[in-house]
A and B are shown apart, each in its own frame.
Chain A
Amino acid sequence: MSKTILIVDDSASIRQVVTITLKGAGFEVIEATNGKEGIAKLDGTKVHLIISDVNMPIMGGIDMVKEIKQLPKYKFTPVIMLTTEASEEMKQQGKAIGAKAWMVKPFKPEQMLQAVNMLT
């Protein structure tokens, strides 16, 4: 069975690039445009990895992951945060909520795939 990945980003083009890349590598992809939607779309579905942007309208990535990690089902789901602002402060926040990795935009699709393959 193919593995499922949740991608949360408010940029449609980034979602599209990630989705095309992941689907090409045989993953199932669930897309969401912000944290709130990400939580809603998850809805108990088993996901093997969450890839999320940090700065999004309505609900950012940090708040979303915090909320998702409260659910026992997703406690150990690895998370990759996508961001252009990999400041130390941000990283600390990400670390506190259990993000496994930071991918600094811009990233190459192959680079992301390599990351995903290592985590799933």
Chain B
Amino acid sequence: MSLDAALETFYAEAKEHLESMEHILLQLDEGEYNDETLNDIFRSAHTIKGSAGIFALEHIVEFTHVIENVLDRARENEITIETKLVNLLFQCRDHIQALVKTSSEEFNDNISLQESGANLLTQLSPWINEQEPSSTQNEAEEKLPAINQENLTQQKCWHISLRLSSDCLKNGMDPISFITFLSGLGEIKHIETITDNFPSINNYDAETLYFAYEISLSTDADLATIENTFMFVQDDSDITILSPEATVDDYLALIDALPEDNQRLRDVFIKCGSLTEQTLAQAHKNKEEIEALNSKSQRDEVPPQPKALLETLKNSDLQQQKSTNERKSNKQIRIDSDRLDNLINLIGELVINQQRIDLLASTSKNPDLLEAVDDFEGFTEQIRDAALKLRMVQIGGIFQRFKRVVRDTAQELNKEIELHIEGAETELDRLMVEKLGDPLTHIIRNAMDHGLEPVEQRVSVGKQSTGQLKLAAYHEAGHVVIAISDDGKGIDIEVIRRKAIEKNIISAEMKLTDNELFHLIFHPGFSTASTVTNLSGRGVGMDVVKRNVESLQGSIEINSTLGKGSEFKIRLPLTLAIIDGFHVQSQDTHFIIPQTTITECIDLTSHQHIEGRHCIDLRGEMIPFLNISEIFMLNGQPNQKMPNKKSIPREELVIVQFGNDIAGIAVDRLYGEIQTVVKPLGPIFNSLKGIGGSTLLGNGDIAFILDIPQLIEMAINRDLSHRHLAN
């Protein structure tokens, strides 16, 4: 029986619950919570503890148990939610996270983790419910052992007093099975059946149990094992198990507690060998005292009544919320993401095959067939869109994570920062959402560290004391845009220029636009902060941010006004799996240009070229362009010559735009729109610039998917270097 798979499930589940705990803690922090919220966070801790226990992850159980207790007290309104407690609970949550990531063995070796846990528990102590031991019980316990420590019987025997529920038989439980089970644990020395309750034959009900048992059992088993025997009946029944070390007073207390006549029970106990006449007489004089103590401690155990009432009130309050939750949850199912990816792959194959059929049909010239194939194409497209939608997830999930980052970072920096989230419902391919976490974290930390000013500085320039940070997502022209903006001090272009010159990234003479200067911060090893903090690092991050975004076929833009704030815009395609493409050809090679990037197609030869530059004049605007056959050295002939009118044959120019950048791509032939199933290129093509993937055409030919952002950048850079050369 392998539980490894279940352990994996536990880790995934714990992660989910920790996320949910964090989310709720943020709500508690903002004072936005109700009983259901408190119940949810309690349940998360409760589930982590419960599951961890099953896998014997004691280090998790031990710590989480205390947190669970505190949260239980919070939901029972025994303690109030205060900032100090919430802060502490945040740390405890993180500690649980650390514990989950640590195996029991690692934990035993990890002194610092143990210490930090102990430290947290100490801090939590004001909120922990000390299980106040009732003083009366203590007194009784202290008194009892003093009286009689000697063995009551010759053999070391347990005494088991069984008063099973009268419904025991009705519930399908035969008392004999328990007795048989007990005899498996050791030797039953004596068993006395008490038939006092047996009714007259007229009142006899065959399904009711009338017997009680007093059993003397000789066994090496421990108390828990013996108790386990009665696991299923212990709640309806009165079962008392006295250990071989039990004193005569324990027995006397038991005799008092049992419903049968005391004298008769004494006789039964003596028959069992559990008591002797002598010990009974000896202990007799203490009896009254113990009775008094026991009755007192019993009074203390009576549960307070109003709780039940409170529970009913709570329930009615929650009814409405519960029913909405129900509706939501009934409409959702969970699917293994691998299955979904497989479905998308299959639909990719379907699309390719549909194109093959399309091609064959068009050669047949059969109008009926053409019409059928046309319909087929329509449905294939719909299936494709529906399947891709399955993989879309709301970006809100990842946005929520930043609430915590912002909260903690603000505290660390001693700044006041408010995070606003917009467009959390915007959907994006799951694969992309997963890869967005790191770049977003970096940009947000940068904004908090370098962008937003400390309170005094903000007040001195007339801004509100709390820095505003906004995380927004929205759709724009077939792309999803994620914008991170702040109302901080903005990016100082002059500082960037100075730094870039200092670091030999640009020369002092170079004339760059503001936008080009902003983009220098993505240059490897560039840092604008005069003092390096441990938060946003040493400028090693922004180039990684850019690379991450580009690996998702995305781009990043910066807008900033000095003194007013900055905005970073990440622009991403909706999905990476199947795209609407535009099929073009250069020499003998087929290419696909993602349709969302295309603004228009023009005839290259009919437009004026700027002398000495790879640039045309399009309605008064300078557009740099690239020739595909030149870039990819088709025919094996790299064209090193400077372009002039003669070297350019009649060509088509596809104008593409990405973000604010526009460029032209010169090709030999335009075919038109085509559904493109993106097949990634193997790792050996990683260094190949300008190609984002490949696809199969309906006729079986391979076409390369152009990486437009990279090509635009190449076109602009080439034009720039020509400009510098010209200068």
Asked if A94 contacts B7 (CB within 8 A), the reply is: no
The reply to whether B177 and A16 contact each other, CB–CB distance below 8 Å, is no
Interface residues of A toward B: which range?
35 or more
CB-based contact B49/A115 at 8 Å: no
Contacting pair A58 B232 (CB below 8 A): no
Q: How far is the CA of A91 from the CA of B40 in the complex (A)?
A: 21
How many pairs of residues, A versus B, come closer than 8 Å at their CB atoms? Answer: 121
Q: By the criterion CB–CB under 8 Å, are A13 and B9 in contact?
A: yes
Rounded to whole angstroms, the CA-CA distance of A13 and B60 in the bound complex is 15
- Asked if A106 contacts B171 (CB within 8 A), the reply is no
Contact with B along A1-26 (1 / 0, CB 8 A): 00000000011111011001100100
Q: Is B50 within 8 A of A84, CB to CB? A: yes
In chain B, what residue has the closest Cβ to A16?
B6
Q: In the complex the two chains form, what is the Cα distance from A56 to B47 in whole Å?
A: 9
Q: Looking at the assembled complex, report how far the CB atom of A3 sits from the nearest CB atom of chain B, in whole angstroms.
A: 13
Residue pair A100, B232 in contact (C-beta under 8 Å): yes
Give B219-272 interface residues, CB cut-off 8 Å to A: 228, 231-236
- B1 and A94 form a contact (CB under 8 A): no
Tally of contact residues, B, Cβ under 8 A: 49
Per-residue A-contact encoding for B316-345, CB less than 8 Å = 1, 0 else: 000000100110011000000000000000
B9 touches A16 (CB 8 A): yes
Contact present for A105 and B50 (CB under 8 Å): yes
CB distance from A105 to the nearest CB of B (A): 4
A55 near B43 with CB under 8 A, answer: yes
CB-CB under 8 A from A119, the residues of chain B are 172-173, 232
Question: Which candidate, B51-59, B566-574, B684-692, is the interface stretch facing chain A?
Answer: B51-59
Q: B46 at the A/B interface (Cβ < 8 Å)? A: yes
Task: Kindly identify which residue among B2, B68, B181 contacts A84, using a CB–CB cutoff of 8 Å.
Answer: B68
User: Which residues of chain B have C-beta atoms less than 8 A from A24's C-beta?
Assistant: 1
- B170: which A residues are within 8 A, CB to CB? 76
Q: Which of A14, A55, A76 contacts B54 (CB 8 A)?
A: A14
**Residue A99 is within 8 A (CB to CB) of chain B in the complex:** yes
B12 cross-chain contacts in A, Cβ below 8 A: 12
Min Cβ gap A89→B in Å is 6
Q: A13-B6, A111-B228, A114-B228 are in contact. Are A94 and B235 (CB under 8 A)?
A: yes
Contacts of A20 in B (CB 8 A): 1-3, 5-6
17 more CB-based (< 8 A) A-B contacts, given A58-B322, A119-B232: A12-B9, A12-B13, A14-B51, A16-B6, A16-B9, A55-B39, A55-B43, A59-B326, A78-B232, A88-B303, A94-B235, A101-B232, A101-B233, A102-B234, A106-B50, A106-B54, A106-B61
23 A-B contacts (beta carbon < 8 Å): A10-B47, A12-B12, A13-B55, A14-B50, A17-B3, A17-B54, A20-B1, A20-B3, A57-B40, A57-B329, A58-B326, A59-B326, A78-B172, A88-B301, A88-B303, A94-B235, A99-B235, A101-B232, A103-B231, A106-B61, A109-B1, A114-B228, A119-B172
Chain B contact residues, CB within 8 Å of chain A = 1-3, 5-7, 9-10, 12-13, 39-40, 42-43, 46-47, 49-56, 61, 68, 72, 170-173, 177, 181, 228, 231-236, 301, 303, 307-308, 322, 325-326, 329-330
- Report, nearest first, the 9 A-B pairs whose CB atoms are least far apart: A106-B53, A13-B10, A101-B232, A16-B6, A105-B50, A13-B9, A13-B51, A11-B47, A24-B1
